[in-house]
Amino acid sequence: MPKTSQAQPAPPSYRYLFGPVASSRLGRSLGLDLLGGPICSFDCVYCEVGRTKLHTCQRRAHVPASRLVQELRQWFKEGHQPPDYITLGGQGEPTLNSELGTLVHQVRQQWPTIPIAVLTNSSLLHREDVQEELAEVDTVLPSLDTLVDTEFHHLNRPCTGVDLSRISQGLLEFRRRYSGKIFLEILLVHGINDTAENKNRLREFIAEFSPQRVDVVTMTRPGAFSEARPIPNSILRSWREALGACQDPVARSSAPETHTTSPVHLDGQAIAATITNSLARRPQTVDQLAFALNFARSDVAATLDALQNQGTVVVLTGTDVPYYGLASSERN
């Protein structure tokens, strides 16, 4: 059984680097925030980051590639167990960062054995420059919640000039020229895009798009607009079946057998700070936190109990497995 040094997870002092977090699709995913704030071409009603502050389709160096690489270098210098993926995402749409290509190239050169993933809302995928910049990436995770125009405007609230048919055409074009893996995600919100018309259109689209993986999910924490509500599990299951999606995307809530390094043992305060930092990025289960942060499960469970008692953490409802998230008073 291989052993690696008992490295500590990223301390909260990093500005753009976060995690690793447990991802059902990517394993232990070390995240980079390419925006540094809520900057997006959409302003989705379900967005966990909150309302978009800069609503734009213009690409700019929101965070310089050199700064992101510097934080990665620092993290690897600390001797952590390498992540399964370096994931480019953040508090908005990462392809809006005009230094995406430079960043991908430098990460590929400096850490050639670690796969790179990019999360995207697909709005810029029709662009030639974005398609070229993503060519070196191992996995692209585009989202496409609806193919019904009225639902798209209600749900995703795109900035002026974003056109749904151009997005779907851009995805198909990207699929033809990209040789890496594509994991498509569809997020359903009760009463908005959970319609039969959308399901039928998406089914036809997926048959042509033919991604390596499809995930149909719903909200696990409050969105930017109070009207946004998750759909029931029974509906989720029927959509997954209809679209050939993974039936259990939270399967990674149990730590996989390949996770063979010894758990990290820190003092209670350090564990609480690290867990709080990780939950600030996304809600997670006990097992996901233990897996991503390499803590003993018992330490994570005890710390979550304590954080719940002091009102820092809450249990989110609506899923079979309990997810923990930051209480609204603790979020930015």
Site for ligand SF4, rule CB under 6 A: 40, 42-44, 47, 49, 52, 92-93, 121
Choose between 145 and 287: whose C-beta lies nearer to ligand SF4. Answer: 145
CA atoms within 13 A on the CB side of 175: 21
CB of 39 to ligand SF4, least distance (A): 9
Choose between 54 and 172: whose C-beta lies nearer to ligand SF4. Answer: 54
- Rounded to 10°, the helix 297-309/286-293 angle is 120
CB of 110 to ligand SF4, least distance (A): 27
Q: How far apart are CA 130 and CA 57, in angstroms?
A: 12
Which residues 6+ apart lie within 8 Å of 330 measured at CB?
276, 280, 312, 313
Choose between 53 and 237: whose C-beta lies nearer to ligand SF4. Answer: 53
DSSP 116-145: EEEEE-STTTTSHHHHHHHTT-SEEEEB--
CB of 22 to ligand SF4, least distance (A): 19
CB of 154 to ligand SF4, least distance (A): 13
Alpha helices by DSSP H, 135-283: 149-155, 164-177, 196-209, 233-242, 268-281
Residues recorded for the chain:
332
Q: At 302, which helix (H) or strand (E)?
A: helix 297-309
Choose between 97 and 121: whose C-beta lies nearer to ligand SF4. Answer: 121
Choose between 39 and 275: whose C-beta lies nearer to ligand SF4. Answer: 39
CB of 55 to ligand SF4, least distance (A): 9
CB of 315 to ligand SF4, least distance (A): 22
Choose between 162 and 264: whose C-beta lies nearer to ligand SF4. Answer: 162
Q: How far apart are CA 39 and CA 61, in angstroms?
A: 12
Both structure tokens of 135: 């060519």
Closest CA to 137 of 91, 90, 169, 174: 174
By three-state DSSP, how is residue 317 classified? Answer: coil
CB of 87 to ligand SF4, least distance (A): 14
Choose between 22 and 49: whose C-beta lies nearer to ligand SF4. Answer: 49
